[in-house]
């Protein structure tokens, strides 16, 4: 079914969405039925990342330096190109959401992200103090994962609290890869190298 999954996301209805190296989003619904939502690129595909927000899917494509928005029910595609900002070259990579905003990380400089609204406009370049590996919403704040810590931030990526400091063992992050919040048990799960760690209040 897949040719190397690069990213997944979910909506509020229990549907999952996955992207690989094809011009289609694989949709897996709550009954494990699958379908494909097509999208188009300008010339090719490299690493793809995906996020869902309010009925739309947002996909970043490193190869073409593009961001796509498609309705999760299918429909017209919006394409936004981004390859340079006032601060230098930009290649869109990891994408995540918080509130009514989307954040796209610069693959060439992971300490930098562009904040967009849902129409992929009102672009704002934000510089962060560490590499942004992944992020999720927890406790009313955005939890930003770097390789060696987690940062509780606001919508401007201003740090409110740093936790999970660098190191091995309980309560520490040594090689952060991904972060997710489980609404059922109220815990954060962090992939630390080949280990999954649970964190909670």
Q: Read off the pLDDT of residues 112-145 as tens digits, 9 standing for 90 and up.
A: 999 999 999 999 999 999 999 999 999 899 999 9
Q: Report how far residue 187's alpha carbon sits from residue 99's, in angstroms, rounded to the nearest whole number.
A: 20
112 close to 87: Cβ distance less than 8 angstroms:
yes
Task: DSSP letter for 173, please.
Answer: B
For residues 116 and 195, the model is more confident at 116
pLDDT of residue 18: 93
Asked if residue 102 has pLDDT above 60, the reply is yes
- Please state whether beta strands 150-153 and 159-163 pair in parallel, antiparallel, or not at all (unpaired): antiparallel
The model's pTM: 0.90
Least confident of 96-110, 117-131, 165-179: 165-179
User: Options 2.40.10, 2.60.120, 1.10.10, 2.60.40; which CATH number does 132-201 get?
Assistant: 2.40.10
Q: List, by residue range, all CATH 2.120.10.30 domains of the chain.
A: 1-127
Distances (CA, A) of 151 to 138, 142, 164, 188: 11, 8, 9, 13
Asked if residue 154 has pLDDT above 80, the reply is yes
Q: How many helices (H) and strands (E) does the chain have?
A: 0, 21
Task: DSSP letter for 122, please.
Answer: S
Tokens standing for residue 93: 């990579």
Does domain 1-127 match CATH 2.120.10.30?
yes
Tokens standing for residue 149: 């810590």
pLDDT of residue 82: 94
pLDDT of residue 171: 52
pLDDT of residue 167: 46
């Amino acid at each position: 079914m897949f040719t190397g999954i690069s990213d997944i996301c979910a909506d509020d209805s229990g549907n999952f969405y996955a992207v690989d190296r094809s011009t289609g989003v694989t949709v897996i619904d709550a009954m494990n039925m699958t379908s494909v939502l097509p999208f188009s690129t300008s010339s090719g595909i490299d690493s793809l990342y995906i996020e869902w927000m309010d009925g739309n899917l947002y996909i970043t494509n490193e190869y073409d330096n593009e961001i796509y928005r498609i309705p999760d029910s299918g429909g017209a595609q919006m394409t936004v190109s981004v390859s340079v900002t006032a601060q230098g070259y930009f290649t869109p990579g990891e994408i995540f959401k918080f509130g009514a905003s989307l954040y796209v990380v610069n693959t060439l400089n992971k300490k930098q992200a562009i904040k967009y609204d849902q129409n992929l406009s009102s672009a704002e370049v934000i510089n962060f103090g560490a590499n942004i590996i992944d992020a999720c919403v927890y406790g009313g704040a955005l939890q930003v994962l770097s390789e060696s810590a987690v940062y509780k931030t606001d919508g401007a990526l201003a740090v409110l609290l740093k936790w999970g400091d660098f190191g091995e063992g309980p309560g520490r992050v040594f090689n952060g890869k991904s972060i997710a919040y489980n609404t059922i048990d109220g815990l954060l799960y962090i992939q630390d190298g080949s280990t999954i760690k649970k964190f909670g209040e």
